[in-house]
Structure 1
Amino acid sequence: MPENISHPLVVSPHFDDAVFSCGAFIAAHPGSVVHTVFSGCPAEDVTTDWDQHCGFTNAAEAMRERACEDDFALEILGAVAERGDFLDAQYAPYGTAPTVESIASKLGVAVRLHAARTLLVPLGLFHSDHELVHRACIDVWNASPALMCFAYEDALYRRMSGLLQARLADLAARGISATPEPGHWRANQHDQALKREAVKAYASQLKAFGPEGYDDVFCTERCWKLELAK
């Protein structure tokens, strides 16, 4: 695991993203705060294709159950749940679209509230919500240079051709170096077992992915240490 990790704030775009991508890291650092950005529910009676695939009749039922799943998963890992309450992309027509600035503002409050010293953020691959969160996290980190920042590879999306390379190139173009942390990111068997149990908590999402659709979450977790290029 990375050295000198303390008071980590782990940023998750949706319920499940942080656990799927770095659940073993969270297990190794009890007391980590997991801030889920897109945890809000539209006020209108809304039904989406994804929610139906997950077995829900409407968004209210989906978000209520998904929050319960997330609470259970984070309890297994010894983490603290915090919610950002923005609407995710599938509910975009039914509320105010979040911006990088509005997400960064709420994350900045979380950093100060929890006296975070380490920020663990998504690389922001493929999904528009993940991209928004990544950009907001980079802004928060730039505003708090004392924070150590690690970017985790978004589970499932990291397998898509060229996305990881494109993000690393984008970071370099913005003057940010990304150094892989292979030597410190290996989880022990205990932490891996806790992650497996936590992943099972997201029953609705696993149902939609299908039995062969989420095997990547059990592969080696990988992250990159972010630093301003010299």
Structure 2
Amino acid sequence: MEELPPAIRDAHSLAVISPHLDDAVLSCGALLGTYVRLGRQATTVTLFNGKPQNPLSEAAVSFHESIGLRDDPMGSRETEDDHAHALLGVDTVRLDMAEALYRCDDAGQHLYPGGQDIFVSQGDVREKEMVDRIAEALSTVPALRSADLVLAPLGVGNHVDHLLVSAAARLLDRSAESVVWYEELPYILYDHCAGWEETLAHGSPFLCRFSDDDWERKLDAIDCYASQHPILWFEPEFRRQEITGHARKLGSGTPAERYWRSQ
């Protein structure tokens, strides 16, 4: 690893806050795997892995059909996540909260009944109370409290779950130097998300460059999330090339992940 600021270079334990089961590995998988290879402690903390409750919205039913997981979608996704973490050697903690697709109001009405309703502008985030709930849940995780360094999502892509988690991470009782922000893959690859840096990245960026072996391990871990590939990529069969092409462009030929420090 090169060009690491002291916060990352000197940290012996790392915790990545992951809105969903695949986010930490997608965005930070190379850093996670490298930490483990160097004999350091790495943990992911996933918020939204709660099992869906009936009745499901039409959007949820459609989503389950599109990923081929009708009977136990979250159980199957957790198995994928287990395989990815085992490959990287990373620990995981799951907090069992319901993701946006499954959340309802007090009257039992789905909060996000349409497939695109989960994508909102920053100024239109509902469920303000969820920010405090998420922050409180995170504060109970020993691996996160004791971590030298915490990585949190910026909210690229405007998925409401990511925006809520990003806001909650800013409430953690930690020094600014001990929190680093990651940019979410695959949203950073989408044309319609171009320009996100202007609204979300208020700090200074830095690169973590990786060996080809460490990078291939990340790609292998991403491969574990087979149910999500048709959702995340327009051409899933080219995902490894697309991810690596972007990473090599960032790293001037060497695969890299980019992170952000708060100002």
TM range, normalised to the smaller chain?
0.7 to 0.9
State the SS of the aligned residue for 1:194.
Answer: helix
Q: Which moved more, 1:6-15 or 1:213-222?
A: 213-222
Q: 1:53-104 CA deviation, whole Å, 9 max, x = no partner? A: 101125xx11000000001101111100110111111111368967011111
Shift of residue 117 of structure 1? 1.2
Structure 2 residue 185 is matched with structure 1 residue 155: yes
Question: What is the alpha-carbon root mean square deviation over aligned residues?
Answer: 2.3
Task: Give the CA deviation at 1:165.
Answer: 1.7
Q: 1:9 aligns with which of 10, 15, 18?
A: 15
The TM-score, its normalising length taken from structure 1, stands at 0.84
What are the ranges of 5 or more consecutive residues in structure 1 without an aligned counterpart? 172-177
Larger radius of gyration: 2
Q: Secondary structure at the match of 2:17?
A: strand
Which runs of structure 2 are paired with 1:25-174 in the superposition (5 Å)?
A: 25-30=31-36, 31-44=41-54, 46=56, 47-58=60-71, 61-93=72-104, 99-110=130-141, 115-125=146-156, 126-140=158-172, 143-145=173-175, 148-159=178-189, 160-168=193-201, 171=202
1:197 and 2:220 aligned: yes
Distance 1:90 1:64 in 2: 16
TM superposition shift of 1:217: 3.8
AA matched with 1:199: I
1:207 to 209, 217, 230: 230
1:162 Cα shift? Answer: 2.0
- Go from structure 1 to structure 2 and tell me whether the alpha carbon gap of 1:44 and 1:107 turns closer, same or farther (over 3 Å shift): same
Please, which runs of 5 or more residues in structure 2 have no aligned partner?
112-126, 248-256
Give secondary structure in 2 for the equivalent of 1:150.
strand
3-state SS of 2:48 partner: coil
Q: Secondary structure at the match of 1:66?
A: helix
Q: State how far apart, in whole Å, the 1-side matches of 2:87 and 2:101 are.
A: 28
TM-score, scaled relative to structure 2: 0.74
1:11 to partner: Cα distance: 0.7
Q: 1:192 to 1:137 in 2, by over 3 A?
A: same
User: Quick one: which amino acid aligns to residue 41 of structure 1?
Assistant: K
Which of the residues 7, 25, 28 maps onto 1:22? 28
SS in 1 for 2:152: strand
In structure 1, the residue matched to 2:115 is none
Q: Partners of 1:134 and 1:34 in 2: how far apart?
A: 15
Which residue identity does 1:54 align to in structure 2?
I
Q: Is the 8 A contact 2:144 2:150 kept in 1?
A: no
- The change in CA–CA distance for 1:76 and 1:41 in structure 2 (over 3 A counts) is same
Alpha-carbon deviation of 1:212?
A: 1.8
Q: CA separation in 2, counterparts of 1:112 and 1:33?
A: 7
Partner of 1:174: none
Partners of 2:43 and 2:143 within 8 A in 1: no
- Using the TM superposition, name which of 112-121 and 98-107 deviates more: 112-121
Q: What SS class does the counterpart of residue 40 from structure 1 fall into?
A: coil
Q: 1:68 to 1:152 in 2, by over 3 A?
A: same
**How far has the Cα of 1:44 moved from its partner?**
2.2
